[in-house]
Amino acid sequence: MNVLAIGAHYDDIELGCAGALIKHVQNNDKVTIFVATDSSYATPDNRLVREKTKAAAEGDAAAIIIGADLVRFNLETFQVFFNEELTAGILHQVETLKIDTIYAPWIHDIHRDHQNAGKAAMMAGRHVPRFLMYQPNWYNSDQTFKKQIFKDISDVFQLKLKAVNAHKSEIKRTGNKWIDYVTHTNRLDGLKVGVEYAESFEVIRYLI
């Protein structure tokens, strides 16, 4: 398979589908990570929280752990829009890499960057035979994420945690909430399907 994982920010993919991507790499599939923003941001009073070179370095480290190529689109954080610029950028990867499997952010996520990255991916990947959406975070939405397909990641879960932990600045900022979220969510999803750890996805389409 030629797999494209799309994230609005450097850490989205690691949280939502890094285990599945690692399994793809182990299966000798070609995996590419597309990150829409430089992932830097500041507080409303302009205090810098995450600097873009540090975010990029952490993204590089996580991609190496996963075993994927990394493509940067370098939009500003909070400036991800469902428009032709982003759609064309994703479509270029789909066509150039002959992508047949896409992992994209859930389009009903409450973070606008996540929503619009997912919508652009859906438009760009409308002819791709396998299209799955993942949850980049734990916030409630007015919609329900439909856990329709599961991937057993029990044997690579620790490697997934290592990829998440590569984002050291965000782990420090959140006080390890990410690790708790990933551990409990993947363990619960695993319990639902009879394995130790699993990732879950909402299906747009999936050619068997």
Q: What is the model's pTM?
A: 0.95
Task: Work out the pLDDT band at 1, boundaries 50, 70, 90.
Answer: very high
The token pair at 13 is 């993919």
**What's the one-letter identity of residue 133?**
M
Query: Which helix or strand (DSSP H or E) is residue 48 part of?
Result: strand 48-50
- How many other CB atoms are there within 10 angstroms of residue 25's CB atom? 16
Cβ atoms of 1 and 101 closer than 8 Å: yes
pLDDT digits (tens, 9 = 90+) for 36-50: 999 877 777 777 778
Q: Exposed, middle or buried, 139 (CB in 10 Å: 0-12/13-18/19+)?
A: exposed
Give the burial string for 2-12 (b: 16+ CB within 10 Å, else e).
bbbbbbbbbbb
Fold of the CATH domain 2-206: Rossmann fold (3.40.50)
Phi/psi of residue 143, nearest 5 degrees: -115, 165
Residue-wise pLDDT tens digits, 78-133 = 899 999 999 999 999 999 999 999 999 999 999 999 999 999 999 999 999 999 99
Element (H, E) at 23: helix 12-26
The predicted pLDDT at position 44 comes to: 75
Closest residue by Cα to residue 27 from 3, 5, 59, 7: 3
Residue ranges per domain, the chain? Answer: 2-206
Q: What is the mean pLDDT of residues 195-204?
A: 98
